[in-house]
Amino acid sequence: MPRNPSSTARPAARRPAARPALLAAAVAVALCLAAGLAASVAGCRGPTPPAAAPAPGAPARPLGAEPLLDRSPEQFDADLAALRGRVVVVNFWASWCGPCREELPLLQRTAKDYERGGVTVVGVDVGDRRADALAFLAGNRATFPTVFDAKGFQDGIASRWSVTGLPQTWFLGTDGARAGRFAGAIDAPELRHRIDDLLQRAREAG
């Protein structure tokens, strides 16, 4: 007598063993190895995202990080923008310039005297040999920020500031605006008078 197909016993289908934890661990290890990182089932960090690119014209290193930082006119503008809120004295000089050599000790003393009074002195080396300029600064123990103007009178910082002879000193108010200049070697009374006048204006403006 034929068997009833409906009554025929069929072996139960076997399910593959579930191994989600082992599979996840294997995937994690593979990802780590592919990324060149240490394999670890405990976790795998992805590559560090690249640092954001600096804004166009932004200086590569902050003003004062070292003597004679290379600066383009645009980078120097960014330096001065960061100094807003302070009176700034910008002195254009070179190691081969006799009056500049006589003037530098005064600038160093002034920078020290007014440092805590809201004043920053910045030197711009123009048309010079870097090695000579560095030796000159070191010999005078100059510590105020200085930048190297490679193009100088030929579309460099000096050119943008209408500097045609050295030394020349510019003064900026706390709002960042140019407030006057002095051509030639400046003496102590004149330098202090101009700085004190800008500080007084800032106090009056509140």
Better-scored residue on pLDDT, 55 or 185: 185
Give per-residue pLDDT as tens, 91-103.
999 999 999 999 9
What are the domain boundaries of the chain? 20-45, 69-205
Q: Which two tokens stand for residue 55?
A: 């804004």
Does the structure show a pLDDT above 80 at 8? no
Number of residues that make up the chain: 206
Query: CB atoms < 10 A from the CB of 62, how many?
Result: 11
pTM of the model as a whole: 0.73
Q: What is the pLDDT of residue 59?
A: 60
In degrees rounded to 5, what are phi and psi of residue 67?
A: -65, 145
d(CA 149, CA 71): 6
* CATH fold of the domain at 69-205: Glutaredoxin (3.40.30)
Region of poorest pLDDT, from 19-23, 49-53, 142-146, 174-178: 49-53
Q: What is the pLDDT of residue 19?
A: 52
| H/E element, 168 | strand 168-172
Q: What is the pLDDT of residue 38?
A: 39
